[in-house]
């Protein structure tokens, strides 16, 4: 039951070219930055990634994107990454933009064995009707567009059917974790991380603090170890390196 692996490089060693990944985080909060850097060093390419966004130009998934390692993104927004927008509009990257709550539920459904579900979100829009550009060609024309989705009525209201997301690998970051893979996420880092771990057939968690089994109270565990296959303990330096997209501070008031 000991799921600890020696390093991030060992944890991602079997991720092949063309693999599908579910990557936790929101903006740069709670992203598995060490695992992402290990993937970059490994040289894997052609990745199909599901994540709320694609990092920024010089950190997170943006590092893989900059090196043209990502072929397809399923995300809810472009965010602060200019290269993401450039590659999408230039036809170099396929992007499936998905409403944020729908994206979260698609991941949760994938981890729960639910193949599809119905939601009101997107009814009467291109989300349901199809035609959202997924990929452009080099002339700016739509090369691949989203298909129409099934719409059914329940209680006199229309609902659109969304399919679950299951990825080959889930990559997440936790505040604490034990050797069995039980994880605790700190504050807002409990964003897409539990869902991405659930959706991965093989899920890898980098943890800022590794504890022994039994040290985590059952009530404080956010994700049980059944969803996690590998645990990578971080060094203090790796755990401390955290970034934000844009720092905004208030000017200190001058003393009278």
Select from 3.40.50.300, 3.40.1080.10, 3.90.1150.10, 3.40.50.1370 the CATH code of 1-115+164-238: 3.40.1080.10
216 CB-near residues (< 8 Å, 6+ apart): 176, 178, 182, 184
The beta-carbon contacts of 211-214 under 8 Å, at least 24 apart in sequence, are 211/176, 211/177, 211/178, 212/178, 212/179, 213/1, 213/178, 213/179, 213/180, 213/182, 214/178
Instruction: Write down the domain spans for the chain.
Output: 1-115+164-238, 116-163
How many whole angstroms separate alpha carbon 248 and alpha carbon 241?
19
Per-residue pLDDT of the chain (256 residues; tens, 9 = 90+): 899 999 999 999 999 999 999 999 999 999 999 999 999 999 999 999 999 999 999 999 999 999 999 999 999 988 788 999 999 999 999 999 999 999 999 999 999 999 999 999 999 999 999 999 999 998 999 999 999 999 999 999 999 999 999 999 999 999 999 999 999 999 999 999 999 999 999 999 999 999 999 999 999 999 999 999 999 999 999 999 998 877 788 887 776 5
């Amino acid at each position: 039951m000991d799921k600890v692996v020696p390093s991030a490089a060992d944890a991602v060693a079997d991720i092949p070219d063309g693999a599908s990944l579910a990557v936790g985080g929101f903006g740069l909060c709670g992203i598995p930055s060490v695992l992402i850097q290990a993937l970059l060093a490994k040289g894997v390419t052609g990745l199909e990634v599901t994540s709320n966004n694609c990092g920024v130009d010089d950190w997170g998934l943006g590092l893989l994107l900059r090196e043209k390692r990502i072929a397809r993104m399923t995300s809810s927004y472009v965010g602060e990454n200019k290269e993401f927008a450039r590659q999408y509009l230039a036809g170099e990257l396929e992007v499936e933009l998905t409403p944020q709550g729908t994206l979260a539920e698609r991941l949760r459904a994938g981890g729960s064995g639910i193949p599809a579900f119905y939601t009101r979100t997107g009814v009467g829009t291109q989300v349901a009707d199809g035609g959202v550009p997924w990929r452009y060609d080099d002339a700016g024309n739509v090369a691949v567009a989203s298909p129409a989705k099934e719409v059914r009525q329940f209680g006199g209201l229309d609902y659109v059917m969304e399919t679950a997301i299951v990825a080959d690998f889930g990559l997440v970051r936790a505040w604490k974790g034990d050797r069995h893979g039980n994880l605790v996420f700190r504050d807002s880092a409990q964003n897409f991380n539990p869902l991405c771990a659930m959706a991965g057939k093989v899920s890898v968690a980098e943890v800022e603090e590794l504890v022994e089994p039994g040290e985590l109270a059952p009530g404080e565990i956010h994700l049980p170890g059944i969803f996690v296959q590998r645990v990578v303990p971080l060094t203090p330096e790796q755990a401390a390196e955290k970034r934000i997209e844009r720092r905004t501070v208030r000017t200190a008031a001058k003393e009278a």
